[in-house]
Amino acid sequence: MNNFLQFAELCDALAATTRKLEKRALMVAYLKELSVEDAGRAALYLSGTVFAETDPRVLNVGGSLLSKAVTQLSGADRNAMHAAYRQHGDFGAASQDLLHSQSALRAVLTLAQVEEAFTAIAAASGPAAKLTLLLDLLGHAIPIEAKYLIKLMTGDMRTGVKQSLVEEAIAHAYGAEINAVRRAVMLHGNLPEVVGMVASGRLHEARMKLFHPLGFMLASPVESVEEALGRFAQEVLAPSTGSGQAPRAGAPLGADAAEIEQNPEIALLEAQIEDKYDGIRAQLHCGDADDPERVVLFSRNREDVSASFPELVEAFAGIGEPAILDGEILAWNSVGQQALPFSTLQQRLGRKRVKHQMREQTPVVFMAFDILYLNGVLLLEQPLSERRAALEALAHRIAASTQRVSTRGQANLFVLEDARQNFSRIVLAPAIRLRSGEQLDAAYEQARARGNEGVMLKSLNSIYQPGRRGLAWLKLKRELATLDVIVTGAEFGNGRRASVLSDYTFAIRDGEELKNVGKAYSGLTDAEIAELTDFFKAHTLEDFGTFRTVEPLIVLEVAFNNVMRSSRHASGFALRFPRILRIRTDKPVSEIDTLERVEEIYNSQPDRPVES
């Protein structure tokens, strides 16, 4: 049965509705008509992934290779490719138009054949071999099938379906309990295998498997001590609302709701505070019984980043205890026992090979602040106070073994003789108990003085909820400053913003010159973006297709996390995480901020890099 066409048609129907229940009903009806094996494949593809979370294979097929395949099959030139993409803002949809000549083909692809093709592409070595397989797969696809094959390979389905909704559809299709399905997927990490368990009534057999990322629990942002106290008190007053705390009887230390509302500081008696570090949030998996030396680091977007930090893999390879830790990868000053600025860590990011010299220049540690799994026991439902005790005990047991880094392969040719490199690679995030708002304010200032972003306020009763953001965890991080800047360039966006100029390059003044200092694309409404698009089209100086320089007439106020030295911009600086606060129609160009102001903000940062 040519069921990949049915899959593609289902995806079109899913993208056409915004109603969650309608999406779920469409998926339920589709899954019921499939064999269990095909239902497993379809569930995986509906969630937008080619391989299961526990499957280490990757396609390694980028946009360039896909573009080459579509060009060869369609005969379209560069202008036609660009026009199709501009129209849709999505390469899959653009390819459906470009491959219209394949409409006469008979739909023959099955879900099993697509799975076989993905397996072959992942195994193929080199662009030429992968291109041959891509041409064969896409060459047998009618346009709508090609659209969703490409969307799957780029991980950009745009059907409005998340894995959680697919899990609901599975439960409804097979008459299972939704939470049981979700727990099995979380534990097992392999959606097709879970479909098999659901269909055969074996959900109870699901067991935790290491080396697939669990969702990260997130914190809600607050910008002042007063806001932190108010919101945290709400959480203590309503512990069973599902926002992050484990239900319990009674208010803290005998206080009732009226007392807490009158004096929110009472809520701090059930809180701990940690520094908020400026590194890479990561989940560390290690100690599998079948492969004791295997260690994997997952980033917040669930990517395997182990290759960028080989010394952490080496350090945790021999600890001998199956564990999942939540924490932050930090560049580290082992002499001062202090985190280094994020800009120091940046050169390590995205590297598949880290040279010995880089390991020496930018040493890293795993700053652990939570433990999710240990020695066969999942700890998510235990309160933070108990998880913290387990984490402290584990860190004490393994600290010495993570100090003895055993390099592998050619790295054995080099000996780390520098004592500054020989230190424990697990650092336990300091956590203190709070008593007052004044103490919280002081803790924030002390964290900034140490070069960290701010502080985290966590309820000692909070359970760990993967992927959830509630009031049980708060992050206090004040805006560093704002700048009034002038837009010098505008770029077309992606997706639904492909037809509007939504990405803005901006500058500050340096005497009579304008010097670029950053780029922002968030913070404005759709109506404001549409209005600016018309304005910039009418005030374009140079048009380079997707990007154009514009007359410096629009002033924006932007916020940001910090300022870094950068050779990317003429100003010599770059803003980290800039976001637009408003359009300053009240401010003339002559009054925008200056390079001197940027330098002043840069020098005021306690976490700025030490300059030679």
Distance CA 501, CA 497 (A): 8
Q: Which residues, including other chains, have CB under 8 Å from residue 612's CB and lie 6 or more apart? A: none
Let me know: does 455 contact 515? Beta carbons within 8 Å: no
Radius of gyration of the chain (CA): 26
Tell me which residue of 425, 446, 496, 447 sits closest to 282, measured CA to CA.
425
| Active-site residue flag, 147 | no
Helix residue ranges, H only, 218-299: 225-237, 257-262
Say if residues 170 and 79 touch (Cβ distance below 8 Å).
Answer: no
| Residue among 406, 439, 441, 437 nearest 422 (CA) | 406
Q: Using CA atoms, how far apart are residues 533 and 527, in angstroms rounded to an integer?
A: 10
Residue 141 has phi, psi (to 5 degrees) of -105, 140
Going by C-alpha positions, the residue among 243, 242, 214 that lies closest to residue 231 is 243
Report residue 603 CA to chain centroid gap. 30
Burial of residue 191 (number of CB atoms within 10 Å: 0-12, 13-18, 19+): buried
Burial of 440 (0-12, 13-18, 19+ CB in 10 A): buried
403 and 427 Cβ atoms separated by less than 8 Å: no
Which residues lie closer than 8 Å to 388 by C-beta, 6 or more apart?
272, 370, 431, 460
Tokens linked to 502:
């939504």
- CB-based contact 389:397 (threshold 8 Å): no
DSSP β-ladder status, 218-222 and 469-476: parallel
Looking at 23, 276, 458, 477, which residue is catalytic? 276
User: Dihedral through CA 279, CA 283, CA 284, CA 286, nearest 10?
Assistant: 180
Number of Cβ within a 10 Å radius of residue 433? 12
CA distance 12 to 17: 9
Cβ contact 181:433 at 8 Å: no
Secondary structure element (H or E) that encloses residue 295, with its range: strand 295-299
Burial label, 209 (beta-carbon count in 10 A; 0-12, 13-18, 19+): middle
The Cβ of residue 472 has, within 10 Å, a number of other Cβ atoms equal to: 28
Q: Are 191 and 47 in contact (CB under 8 A)?
A: yes
The 10 Å Cβ neighbour count of residue 156 is 14
Query: The tokens of 260 are what?
Result: 């807490």
Q: So which residues are the catalytic ones?
A: 276
